[in-house]
Amino acid sequence: MKRMGAALMLAVLGLPAAAQDAPRNFPLDRAFRVISISGFDVQRSGLTLTVKHDGSRFAAAGSAGCNTWNASFIFRDGAQFDVTEIVATRKHCGGARMKTEDAFLTTLRSAHRWRLDDKKRLILEGEVGRLLLTSAPK
């Protein structure tokens, strides 16, 4: 009986995450390309991000420059979020490309705040750094 009660409690506690809503002005289903990581120009690196709602959760995916990646995107209060369960393919590219990819994924993993600037660019910030993204051409 105790196990059933614990399982029910975990199921109830899990409901808010499954039923989360995106903030009204977060740009869902829009492809973005990263133009800088903490002020360093990476426009030619091919880094991209798109956040979509797949019915039960929000998922983020894109290119890390060499590898493709995907993750869970969890919205919290206001402009707060978490990126979890980041997975990427395992191709190895040249040293500079891999350093840029590592910087991107590390910064993305640590980002917890988002905002749109006056030019409608997406900014993701965290303890490690800041990603500046712009709409990718269609």
CATH of the domain at 130: 2.40.128.270
Q: pLDDT tens digits for 117-136?
A: 988 899 999 999 999 999 98
Please give the Cα distance from 107 to 44 (Å, whole number).
18
Q: Which residues constitute the domain of residue 102?
A: 21-135
Q: Is residue 15 part of a domain?
A: no
State the total domains in the chain. 1
pTM attached to this predicted model: 0.82
Q: Is residue 1 part of a domain?
A: no
pLDDT for position 13: 41
**Tokens for 83?**
């990126």
Q: Look at residue 6 and give its three-state secondary structure.
A: helix
Q: Is residue 2 part of a domain?
A: no
| Alpha-carbon dihedral angle through residues 10, 16, 18, 20, given to the nearest 10 degrees | -170
Q: What are phi and psi of 97, to 5 degrees?
A: -65, -40
Q: Is residue 6 part of a domain?
A: no
Specify the higher pLDDT residue, 95 or 108: 108
Q: Is residue 75 part of a domain?
A: yes
Q: Is residue 14 part of a domain?
A: no
Q: Is residue 32 part of a domain?
A: yes
Cα–Cα distances (Å) from 119 to 10, 20, 60, in that order, read 42, 27, 22
